[in-house]
C-alpha cells in the first residue's frame, strides 16, 4: 500500500543567494554537500540524476527559476511511488540567505520507516551545506561513497566507528577527531546513533547508519576538497572494521 508524504526544511545560511543557488543547481555544487554524483541541467525538462553505488536515480527538472527556485521529480514506479523536491532561495540582509526545501511524493508499504529515515537524514546534509559554504565555497571535491549492508544495529555500528576515530561513544559537536589517515578534524554534527559529521582542513566526512530493505547499513559520504581520491582508503577501512 502506498502513502503520500511531505517534508519541509528551512535553513538560514551565511552566504549570498548566488552562492546558495550554485550549490543546489549545479552538479559540482550539489556534489559538494550531498551524496554520490549529480547531473543537473540548466532548464526545465533537463536532467536531475543522482548516481551512487552503481545505481542512477533518474529525475527531471520541473521548475527552473535562476537564483530563486529549482524543482525536480523522480521517475514514477508502476505502483505510483515517486519523489519530488523543491528548493526555494531567498536573499536576506547582511549577506545571508534562507533556503527552503519541500520534499513530497508517494512512499511504499514501509512508508513510516522511509519517512523517518528521510526526516533524520536531511539535517546532516543541510548542515554539510552550511559547512561547505562557510569553509570550502566554490571548490569541487573528490567524492567518496561507501555502503556496508548488514553492518549491524546502530549501537554496534557506532561503538566501532567511535573507537576507530578515538571518540567516546557519547560524542558532542566541537570535539576533536583523528581520522585513520592521521588528519585531525572537528565534529560539526552529532546525532548518534544515526549521523556523525566531521570537518577537516581538507574536507567533510559523514558517517550514517541507515535501515534498508537489505538490512542495517553504514553509509559513508565524504568530500575531499584538496583533490585526493580517498575511495580506496575508506573501502579498506570499512572492510577492516565491518568485514
CATH number for 34: 3.30.530.20
Query: Could you say which of 88, 116, 135 is where a domain stops?
Result: 135
Domain check: are 117 and 17 in the same one?
Answer: yes
Which pLDDT score, from 0 to 100, does residue 32 have? 98
Counted domains in the chain? 2
Q: Is 60 exceeded by the pLDDT of residue 92? A: yes
C-alpha cell at 57: 536515480
- What residues contact residue 227 under an 8 Å CB cut-off, 6+ apart? 142
Domain check: are 127 and 163 in the same one?
Answer: no
Query: Could you say which of 102, 119, 135 is where a domain stops?
Result: 135
- Residue 94: band (very low, low, confident or very high) from pLDDT cuts 50, 70, 90: confident
CB 204 within 8 A of CB 223: yes
Domain check: are 197 and 237 in the same one?
Answer: yes
- Residue 212: band (very low, low, confident or very high) from pLDDT cuts 50, 70, 90: low
Domain check: are 150 and 96 in the same one?
Answer: no
Domain check: are 20 and 47 in the same one?
Answer: yes
Q: What is the reported pTM?
A: 0.94
Query: Could you say which of 111, 135, 159 is where a domain stops?
Result: 135
- Residue 169: band (very low, low, confident or very high) from pLDDT cuts 50, 70, 90: confident
| Structure confidence by residue, pLDDT tens digits, 184-197 | 999 999 998 889 99
What's the average model confidence in pLDDT over 130-144?
97
Q: Is 60 exceeded by the pLDDT of residue 177? A: yes
Domain check: are 194 and 155 in the same one?
Answer: yes
Domain check: are 15 and 78 in the same one?
Answer: yes
What's the average model confidence in pLDDT over 118-136?
93
Enclosing domain of residue 203: 142-242
Spatial distance between the Cα atoms of 61 and 100, rounded to a whole number of angstroms: 17
Domain check: are 152 and 214 in the same one?
Answer: yes
Amino acid at each position: 500500500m502506498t502513502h503520500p508524504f511531505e517534508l519541509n526544511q528551512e535553513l538560514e545560511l551565511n552566504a549570498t543567494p548566488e552562492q546558495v543557488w550554485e550549490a543546489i543547481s549545479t552538479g559540482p555544487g550539489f556534489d559538494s554537500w550531498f551524496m554520490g554524483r549529480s547531473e543537473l541541467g540548466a532548464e526545465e525538462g533537463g536532467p536531475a540524476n543522482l548516481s551512487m553505488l552503481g545505481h542512477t536515480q533518474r529525475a527531471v527538472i520541473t521548475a527552473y527559476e535562476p537564483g530563486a527556485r529549482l524543482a525536480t521529480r523522480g521517475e514514477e514506479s508502476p505502483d505510483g511511488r515517486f519523489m519530488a523536491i523543491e528548493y526555494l532561495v531567498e536573499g536576506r540582509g547582511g549577506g545571508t540567505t534562507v533556503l527552503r526545501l519541500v520534499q513530497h511524493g508517494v512512499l511504499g508499504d514501509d512508508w513510516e520507516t522511509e519517512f523517518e529515515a528521510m526526516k533524520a537524514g536531511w539535517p546532516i546534509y543541510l548542515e554539510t551545506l552550511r559547512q561547505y559554504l562557510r569553509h570550502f565555497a566554490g571548490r569541487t571535491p573528490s567524492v567518496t561513497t561507501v555502503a556496508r549492508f548488514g553492518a549491524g544495529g546502530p549501537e554496534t555500528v557506532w561503538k566501532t566507528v567511535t573507537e576507530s576515530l578515538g571518540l567516546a561513544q557519547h560524542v558532542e559537536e566541537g570535539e576533536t577527531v583523528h581520522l585513520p589517515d592521521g588528519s585531525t578534524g572537528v565534529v560539526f554534527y552529532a546525532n548518534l546513533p544515526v549521523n556523525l559529521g566531521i570537518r577537516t582542513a581538507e574536507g567533510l566526512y559523514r558517517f550514517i547508519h541507515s535501515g534498508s530493505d537489505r538490512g542495517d547499513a553504514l553509509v559513508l559520504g565524504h568530500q575531499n576538497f584538496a583533490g585526493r581520491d580517498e575511495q580506496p582508503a575508506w573501502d579498506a577501512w570499512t572492510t577492516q572494521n565491518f568485514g
